[in-house]
Amino acid sequence: MELGVPDIVKWFDFANKKIQHHKDYLSALDRPIGDGDHGINMARGCKEAINKIMTKNYAEPSEVIKDVAMALLAKVGGASGPLYGTAFLKMSMAVKGYEVLSLSTLANGMEAALAGLKQRGKSDIGEKTLIDVWSPMGDYISTGEISSDGLIELARDALETSKDTMATKGRAAYFKEKSIGHIDPGSASSFYIFEALAEVIKEKE
Amino acid sequence: MNFVGIVLVSHSSKVVEGLLDIIRQVIHDVPIAIAGGTDENEIGTNVEKIMSAITTANSGKGVLVLYDLGSAKMNAEVAVEMLDSIQIKIVDAPLVEGAYVAAVESNMRKTLDEVYEAVMKEF
């Protein structure tokens, strides 16, 4: 399996559509344990990213990913801006120079993105953040043998697991044990991003 | 002679506008720039706003950045990484009191490290 520029553009196109569609749901998730604007913020950032990448020609996937990162940095007002922005920026740097991304190149990109998330958020897995979804996704992709169904299933499991953990990072950490039982909004938007990736991969299976 | 610049980052432009008023009552010469709210002046922070505030506040002696809540710090860190030609420090301190201490110290023509240390010591 290899992902070229059109596939990566499609990835973000699908992800954007999901985020726009679930905008209110993402904000609703953010209301009990945050500031209630995750859906609006993500929708604004993703729209900007899509507007940018749909009108440009790209030589390689890293350039698409970089433009997405910069749009998210500039347009998402909440914590998700610098977090997603950093993740995709690090990913783009890790896959720079490749016209198509093999699974192992994508795995390198995921590893760099995850390291960026941990550094930026001063966080790790199990703190009820988007890392809880990105980390198992990275592990799975790095096995070198993946399926679209496997990817979605694992992403859904990760989302469910993070529901039962207590937040120790981010705005939700102020709610301590009251955060248990709520789905983390960042994990939910990450789920849509990887569901979108799975759909791109499915078309190639 | 130059002063260490100060940048105030908040989720709300009103917070840093008000804070600037408080400081300006006493400190007049220190360059202080604010980055409050998103690019559409909604609640949030914005990397480009922070970068532009840092550039404005810098008069060659470096810039100290103060922030209010978690994501403001993250965006400030991104801004710092993108502006590697300017000497910048982000300080973990209460925004209002920290900014006041920083402005007073900078006004005494201290260096960036000295201003940073003074704020750190206070809180």
Query: Mean of the pLDDT values across residues B8-35?
Result: 97
Chain A residues with beta carbon closer than 8 angstroms to that of B69: 171
Closest Cα of chain B to A164: distance in Å? 23
Pairing of strands B88-90, B32-36: unpaired
Comparing CA positions, the residue from A88, A203, A196 lying closest to residue A152 is: A196
Distance CA B115, CA B120 (A): 9
Query: Is the CB of B44 less than 8 angstroms away from the CB of A75?
Result: no
H or E element, residue A102 = strand A101-102
Check whether A163 has a pLDDT greater than 80: yes
Query: Mean of the pLDDT values across residues A151-169?
Result: 94
Query: Is the CB of A74 less than 8 angstroms away from the CB of B47?
Result: yes
Query: Mean of the pLDDT values across residues B107-123?
Result: 97
- Average model confidence (pLDDT) across chain A: 95
Closest Cα of chain A to B38: distance in Å? 6
Tokens of A121: 């958020």
> What is A2-202's CATH number?
1.25.40.340
Check whether B1 has a pLDDT greater than 70: no
Q: How many angstroms separate the Cα of B18 from the Cα of each of B8, B70, B99?
A: 11, 20, 12
Check whether B49 has a pLDDT greater than 70: yes
Query: Mean of the pLDDT values across residues B78-90?
Result: 94
For A117-131, what is each residue's pLDDT tens digit? 999 999 999 999 999
pTM to 2 decimals? 0.89
Closest CA in chain A for residue B69: A171
**CA A67 from centroid of its chain's CA atoms:** 15
For A56-65, what is each residue's pLDDT tens digit? 999 999 999 9
For A50-96, what is each residue's pLDDT tens digit? 999 999 999 999 999 999 999 999 999 788 999 999 999 999 999 99
The counts of H helices and E strands in chain A are 9, 2
Instruction: Tell me how many residue pairs between chain A and chain B have CB atoms under 8 A apart.
Output: 49
Q: Does B71 touch chain A (CB under 8 A)?
A: yes
ipTM confidence: 0.78
Tokens of B35: 């980055």
Closest CA in chain A for residue B45: A77
For B58-79, what is each residue's pLDDT tens digit? 999 999 999 998 889 999 999 9
Residue B92 phi, psi dihedral angles, 5° rounding:
-85, 100
Report how many domains make up chain B. 1
Respond yes or no: is residue B28 known to be catalytic: no
User: Which CATH number covers residue B36?
Assistant: 3.40.50.510
Q: Which residues of A touch B (CB under 8 A)?
A: 35, 37, 41, 73-79, 81-83, 85-86, 120-121, 170-171
Of A77, A82, A171, the CB nearest to B78: A82
Q: Give yes or no for a contact between B116 and B89, defined as CB atoms under 8 angstroms apart.
A: yes
Of A35, A75, A120, the CB nearest to B74: A120
Check whether A103 has a pLDDT greater than 90: yes
- Average model confidence (pLDDT) across chain B: 96
Residue A77: per-residue pLDDT: 78
Residue A171: per-residue pLDDT: 85
Neighbour order of strands in the sheet with B88-90 = B32-36, B5-10, B63-67, B88-90
Closest Cα of chain B to A15: distance in Å? 23
